[in-house]
Amino acid sequence: MSEIRQGSVKQITSHSNPIVKEIKGLVAQRKHRSQSGLFVAEGLKLATDALAAGWGVRYLALGTEARDNPVAQKAAATAKARGALILEVSTAVMSAMTRKDNPQMVVGVYEQRMLSAKDIHPSGAALWVALDRVRDPGNLGTIIRTVDAVGGAGVMLVGDCTDPFAVEAVRATMGSLFHVPLAKISKDEFKALAGKWPGTVAATHLKGSVDYRSPDYTDPVLLVMGNEQQGLEDDMAAACSTLIRIPQAGQADSLNLAVATGIALYEIRRKHLEL
Ligand code: SAM
């Protein structure tokens, strides 16, 4: 694609265009996202969120409806000024790129951001969430959105987690992906961080003996959540200062991971949140 300059506009009507193929690859395969460091986010709201938060943008594809939309045109002008290639595409091409019958009017390709353990310096009222091997992209996206809603500092992805830059995860964040820092860390790095954490390190656990409403959570708080199938690994649980449980009635074995995270987060942040 050396003949195409970034910061310019290109019209695309063919499904076999190399940029269309590149975007389809980013939607379909983690391998392509990891190798390129890029990801796809659908929709005008996510484009305006990404641009306002200063994320790097490689391509901004505009469908036919975006041509008369002033917000979309403004996003395109901002992206172009930052060096993005603006793609004017047909609805059919937009559908093919995103594998959706009713595609959004704007689709962006952005540069991934990922922190590591050395970037995490908890202080003040910071609230981090650590996820042990989260598997479901919808759960991950929903948790990122909820962490944003409670003013959390970030989310640590411990061990082999689902890709936060998968289209399903990005979709579920509803734009919060662009506001919540993410860190990829190993289990050993988690244990080291938990060991020197200055505030409460609370793990939710089905064998926890502490009602999640009773601790006096000391800031900064680290909330730790287990894997959807296997729960939290024993050695990770041992690295936490308290194991909290959300009481249940009825026959459900457990709560959904994202629901349990939301319930715990709102209790932990109770004193920081008001209408
Ligand atoms: N079979 C798994 C187990 O034995 O832990 C169930 C995991 S549950 C679907 C996923 C995660 O959500 C758990 O590891 C825990 O972090 C949290 N969770 C779900 N329900 C909970 C509850 N009632 N109390 C505390 N944590 C809960």
260 CA to centre of ligand 1 in angstroms: 7
* Residue identifier of the C-alpha nearest atom 4 of ligand 1: 231
Does the pLDDT at position 228 exceed 60? yes
CB–CB of 164/206 below 8 Å? no
Q: Before 247, cis peptide (omega within 30)?
A: no
Best probe residue, ligand 1, of 132, 156, 206, 244 (max atoms within 8 Å of C-beta): 206
246 CA to centre of ligand 1 in angstroms: 9
ipTM confidence score? 0.99
* Residue identifier of the C-alpha nearest atom 25 of ligand 1: 245
67 CA to centre of ligand 1 in angstroms: 47
Mean pLDDT of 116-126: 97
**210-211, strands of its sheet edge to edge:** 182-185, 154-158, 127-132, 221-225, 201-204, 242-245, 210-211
Q: What is the per-residue pLDDT across 52-76, written as a single tens digit (0 to 9) for each?
A: 999 999 999 999 999 899 999 999 9
Cα torsion 177, 38, 225, 194: sign: negative
Residue 10: which residues within 8 A CB-CB, separation 6 or more? 4, 19, 85, 86, 87, 88
Closest to 226 measured CA to CA, from 154, 120, 139, 127: 139
In the chain, what are the domains?
A: 9-111 (3.30.1330.30), 117-272 (3.40.1280.10)
Pocket of ligand 1 (CB under 6 A): 204-206, 208, 225-226, 228, 231-232, 245-246, 248, 254-255, 257, 260
187 CA to centre of ligand 1 in angstroms: 19
152 CA to centre of ligand 1 in angstroms: 21
257 CA to centre of ligand 1 in angstroms: 6
**Residue 5's pLDDT is what?**
62
Q: Confidence class of residue 6 from pLDDT cuts 50, 70 and 90?
A: low
pTM of this structure: 0.96
C-alpha–C-alpha distance, residues 50 and 128, integer Å: 22
